[in-house]
Amino acid sequence: MKEWEEDSLFPLFHVAAGVKTIMIDKPVLPAVPSACRDPLEKSTLKHRVFKFAMGVTQATEAISAVLLVGIILMNVAQVFFRYVLVDPLSWSEETMRYSTTWMVMLAGSAALFRGEHMVISLFTSVRSPFFRRLIHLSVLTCIAGFCLLLMWEGFPAAINNMRQMSPATRIPMTLPYMAIPVGASLMLLKVLCLMLLPEDVLRREEAEENQP
């Protein structure tokens, strides 16, 4: 009679050696309590919030990278036309200035979600998880308040300058002014996501991705 191969998940117990083999079903493990589950489990709301925030972060990083490359190319072209051809471009400096504003505001929201901004780590050594979480939420609340202020003042300023045209490129000044409230809106969105997620969410996600 054909014998079954032994498997760790399906233990085999031989009743009669070389005669008969009985396969016992996989034992049913007890259910894990909800309080012990990973908060970033794929079926949870926090995992969906993290994926959404990470998607927005990666999109803003890609746009910022494209703007950075464009700024470098415009700068090189400006130097070439000014000192080699002795015929400087009239629009490059202005375009670089507006592109830099957009790049900083978009990349700033991505850096906020990744925790790459400069911080004062005075209270990070507190042992109590409750107080660490309280300090974390207090900092995020202050950031959210500042973002709301930028949005409150930024959107009207951008709309009021709709009819004003830039001197060189002749584009509405609404476009460069809109970088401030749009960047603040993205930062506020990331702050709300960080309030819902654990503090070490990025470190844990990177550790899971690096696992073999």
pLDDT digits (tens, 9 = 90+) for 97-124: 999 999 999 999 999 888 887 777 776 6
Query: What is the pLDDT, as a whole number, of residue 183?
Result: 94
pLDDT the model gives residue 43: 53
- For the cut 70, the answer to whether the pLDDT of residue 10 exceeds it is no
Which pLDDT does position 40 carry in this prediction?
53
Largest distance between two CA atoms of the chain: 97
Does residue 4 have a pLDDT over 80? no
What pTM did the predictor assign? 0.71
DSSP 3-state percent helix, strand, coil across the chain (nearest 5)? 60, 5, 35
The residue among 25 and 61 whose pLDDT is bigger is 61
Q: Which residue has the higher pLDDT, 18 or 190?
A: 190
